């Protein structure tokens, strides 16, 4: 077995990757694209956040899809660049940083999006089977419940649980997940849940709007 790498060696790379991921994740593609498309300031529409769901409320599906892809792409890019230059552990740190950056971008007074698309992109970069599984779970829950926030939260929670389950296996787990990845996924999912606190409150009250209806969050 390889000799474990000391944390004292890893932490400077992990912190640098976290900072890099934050910087990349904080690029507000939703705001930039809506302004370029002449749709105004996305922060004055709907929930006021910069994510693809709120961009969709402008009525421009192409800009919403572009926002979704770019928000996911910045999470994937942060993780893959860190993996290339520094290794697996910094890759996890960079992914976490990207989601934090999207949720709390310094350029916008730390008021950003809710992190779902960036999380999915990060998961795909960390472990493509797990990431694709997260996307499929999101779509399955959306088809079943017709509530955007609920499908995203259930999909990510299920993915984190699967990451832990697979981290205990000897064959499939080596391909899909390990304990470090499962822990990092749990950290991100916990952050996304925190960002959805208003949605969770409405879900518990039975007032969260369904897909296709008028939305405020």
Tens digits of per-residue pLDDT, 133-178? 999 999 999 999 999 999 999 999 999 999 999 998 877 777 788 9
Q: Tell me how far the alpha carbon of residue 182 is from its chain's centroid.
A: 15
Q: Tell me how far the alpha carbon of residue 40 is from its chain's centroid.
A: 25
How far is 69 from 74, CA to CA, in rounded Å?
Answer: 9
Give the residue among 52, 66, 49, 54 at the shortest CA–CA distance from 110.
Answer: 49
CB count within 10 Å of CB 164 equals: 16
* Band of pLDDT at residue 7, cut at 50, 70 and 90: low
pTM of this prediction? 0.91
Averaged pLDDT of the chain: 91
Q: Does residue 28 have a pLDDT over 70?
A: yes
The pair of structure tokens assigned to 197 is 């606190």
The pair of structure tokens assigned to 158 is 């299920």
């Amino acid at each position: 077995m390889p000799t474990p790498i000391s944390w004292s060696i890893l932490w400077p790379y992990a912190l640098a990757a976290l900072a890099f991921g934050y910087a990349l994740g904080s690029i507000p593609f939703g705001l930039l694209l809506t302004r370029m498309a002449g749709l105004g300031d996305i922060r004055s529409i709907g929930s006021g956040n910069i994510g693809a769901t709120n961009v969709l409320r402008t009525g421009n599906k192409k800009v919403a899809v572009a926002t979704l892809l770019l928000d996911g792409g910045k999470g994937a890019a942060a993780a893959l660049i860190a993996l290339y230059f520094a290794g697996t552990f910094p890759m996890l740190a960079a992914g976490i940083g990207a989601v934090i950056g999207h949720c709390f971008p310094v350029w916008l007074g730390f008021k950003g999006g809710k992190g779902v698309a960036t999380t999915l992109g990060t998961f795909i970069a960390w472990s493509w089977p797990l990431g694709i599984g997260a996307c499929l779970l999101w779509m399955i829950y959306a088809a079943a419940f017709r509530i955007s926030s609920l499908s995203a939260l259930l999909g990510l929670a299920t993915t984190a649980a699967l990451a832990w389950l697979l981290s205990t296996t000897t064959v499939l787990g080596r391909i899909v997940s390990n304990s470090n990845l499962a822990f990092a996924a749990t950290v991100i999912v916990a952050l996304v849940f925190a960002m959805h606190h208003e949605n969770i409150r409405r879900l518990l009250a039975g007032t969260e709007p369904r897909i296709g209806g008028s939305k405020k969050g």
